[in-house]
Structure 1
Amino acid sequence: MPDGPLLHLIEPASWRAALSEGVLRPPSLADVGFIHLSTPEQAHLPAERLFPGRRDLALLVVDPQRLRDPVRWEPGVPEDPASMRFPHLHGPLPTTAVTAVVPYRPPAPPVLPGPDDPLGRALALQLSVAVRRAADVRDVPGGVAVSDARFPRSRDDNRLLLSSPVDADTVEDTAAGMGWFARAATLRFPGADDVAHELAQRGWSVEEIVLMGRPATQVPGGERAEVVPQEVVHPLWERSWRELLGSGRDDVVAELVDREFRNDAVVAVTDVVVREEGLVVAAGQLRVDGGTAAVDSVLTDGAARGHGHAGAVLARILTLAADAGCDLVVLEAAGDDWPRHWYARAGFTELGSTWDVFAPAQTGANTDSSR
């Protein structure tokens, strides 16, 4: 039978529910005793039968070596070719066997990273989370545009995600046509640095985003970091955004804090903090998406820096990722800032880069947009 990954097509809400349970148990498991899987060459068949015309679905990339129950190759429906056999999992699907979750938006072929491809898995997570949480997703040259009118000044929620090569003119023209407060794009394709540098010459702001990864292992030193409900972190986030944006931006700060709930709607989010005298002074976030976890939003109050709080937060996050059964932890770090080197000392290695580009503010335009 074919080697390589197996796939399962799913609605994002069903995948999020499975992340909370740790296993996926679709109705077919009770009805016929197995879960329908497919090879990459077969995925279009269940899509056409079960979800005709749908382009908001996700493909779970399953590593067969991580399954506990047998996979049997059996006939599909009578309409399928007589010689075709489909992989059927005779038991629940552990979420940790899913090494990547990728958008399914035919006719564009999905990019399916292997379990031993940390860069591919990091890129898949970067794209998939943004697409799954977006209020609106549109096809554009080179990729997709994600938008959310609830957060108009969030460049993280209103941007182009370009995974296939395009030139600088295409980036400019496409971004200009979106009607956003700020024109923003993430360039994710080989050779994107050349396009980013050309945009920089045209006045765009350019930031290299270094993708980093390490194995998920239990790490000592996180005992004083605690898991909390996300609203406990809001005051720290508010202080951090005010420090960055300056005074008089309370409406922008409120929008940037309010947007954070959208992540837990698509991946399993855990917020970790350290307190000094009861006040939250450091925090970080773990996002689990099957066997891949991500570190995000690690920050420390200015007055509390130098006390090892961020290290305690990171140690607790890595331990939680290992406890959740993840094998890979990834993150994004600014290419020109010191945290990149701090993460390297914590065992993260550089996997590759993407490029965030932001158009210069137009006269009279709102300039409060933030990542």
Structure 2
Amino acid sequence: MDDLAHLAAVRRESDAADLARALAFVRDFARRKAPREVAVPGGVAVLDERYPGSYDDNKLLVWEEADPREVLRAADEALAGRAHRLVEVHDDRLGEAFAPVLARAGYTHAVNLVMAFRGDVPDDPPPAERLGLAELLPVLRREWRQSLPEAGDEVVEALARRAEARTAGAETVAFRGVRAPGGELAARADLYVHGGVAQIEDVHTAPAHRGRGHARALMGALLAEAAGAELVFLVADAADWPKDFYARLGFAGLGRTHSFLRA
């Protein structure tokens, strides 16, 4: 094996190890913050009765070999009483195998890209502002009212308050933001750190402040804050433009996961 082939093989092994570590982090985060979990074929269901309408807080996580028909039955049992069914498959091959069976059962299929930071941490970026829940919750309520104008106050409140449960998911759960010159919160995101791994999640720029570099500034601050972690990663929609933005910042794809939703 020549040097280039050897380096490529080492890189593939490193990427595979980082992918496994990132996906274990995602599963463990979901399980730590869930009040209840139930064993299902190939994985677990995480359940939170406080937020029955929340997809993220009530779903199946599957990462080991399983019969998709048994997974469908388990989803109906574990998520009984919910208006949705969500199955996340943390194995690309398994997700592809599940796709035709779940499609026939009325599930829509989405693919996510797990991306690890492989670039250089920005030099001395301005720090992001620490956001407490008292300040974050009104922002989340406003965002949900904008995206779901038909939803009632009770639904909006439950969707916003899901952030409270995230604090149980990792050793460090930090809410960060950057402001526009006028003082309004322009962009925000979560940073989770546990066991030497860091995940950047829920990156959002207010519509009125998009295209002005706020998300880039926020990401620079988060990468600097997480610089001591052995692995920094995020999960992006494989079919949407943010993955390209993250790639320009130095993130590289490790592998894919699959989400199946019936709502």
Under TM normalisation by the shorter chain, which class is it?
A: 0.7 to 0.9
Match of 2:18 in 1: 118
Match of 1:358 in 2: 261
Change (3 A) 1:318 1:230: farther
Higher relative contact order (Cα pairs below 8 Å, separated by 6+ residues): 2
The correspondence for 1:184, drawn from 81, 86, 109, is 86
Match of 2:252 in 1: 349
CA shift, 1:218, in A, is 3.2
Match of 2:101 in 1: 198
The whole-number CA distance in structure 2 between the counterparts of 1:358 and 1:228 is 31
Match of 2:173 in 1: 269
Is contact 1:283-1:299 (8 Å) kept? yes
Match of 1:156 in 2: 56
Change (3 A) 1:338 1:115: closer
Matches within 5 A, 1:165-314: 165-178=65-78, 179=80, 180-189=82-91, 190-215=93-118, 218-220=121-123, 222-223=125-126, 225-267=128-170, 268-276=172-180, 277-314=182-219
SS at match of 1:259: helix
The whole-number CA distance in structure 2 between the counterparts of 1:347 and 1:158 is 32
Is contact 2:36-2:48 (8 Å) kept? yes
RMSD across aligned positions (CA): 2.2
| CA shift digits 1:73-116 (9 cap, x unpaired) | xxxxxxxxxxxxxxxxxxxxxxxxxxxxxxxxxxxxxxxx9998
> Runs of at least 4 residues of structure 1 off by over 6 A?
113-116
CA shift, 1:246, in A, is 2.4
The correspondence for 2:27, drawn from 119, 127, 134, is 127
Is contact 1:168-1:195 (8 Å) kept? yes
The whole-number CA distance in structure 2 between the counterparts of 1:352 and 1:125 is 15
| CA shift digits 1:212-245 (9 cap, x unpaired) | 1114853247416322323322233223222322
Change (3 A) 1:271 1:173: same
Is contact 2:109-2:259 (8 Å) kept? yes
Is contact 1:114-1:120 (8 Å) kept? no
5+ residue gaps in structure 2?
Answer: 1-12
Match of 2:237 in 1: 334
Is contact 1:218-1:320 (8 Å) kept? no
Change (3 A) 1:197 1:243: farther
State TM-score, norm by structure 2.
0.86
Match of 1:316 in 2: 221
Name the larger-Rg structure. Answer: 1
The whole-number CA distance in structure 1 between the counterparts of 2:32 and 2:131 is 25
The whole-number CA distance in structure 2 between the counterparts of 1:239 and 1:340 is 25
Matches within 5 A, 1:65-80: none
The whole-number CA distance in structure 1 between the counterparts of 2:27 and 2:188 is 24
| CA shift digits 1:4-29 (9 cap, x unpaired) | xxxxxxxxxxxxxxxxxxxxxxxxxx
SS at match of 2:46: strand
> Matched residue pairs, number?
246
The whole-number CA distance in structure 2 between the counterparts of 1:221 and 1:235 is 30
CA shift, 1:210, in A, is 1.0
State TM-score, norm by structure 1.
0.62
Change (3 A) 1:193 1:231: farther
Is contact 1:222-1:314 (8 Å) kept? no
Counterpart of 1:296 in structure 2: which amino acid? E
The whole-number CA distance in structure 1 between the counterparts of 2:213 and 2:163 is 25
CA shift, 1:326, in A, is 0.6
5+ residue gaps in structure 1?
Answer: 1-112, 362-371
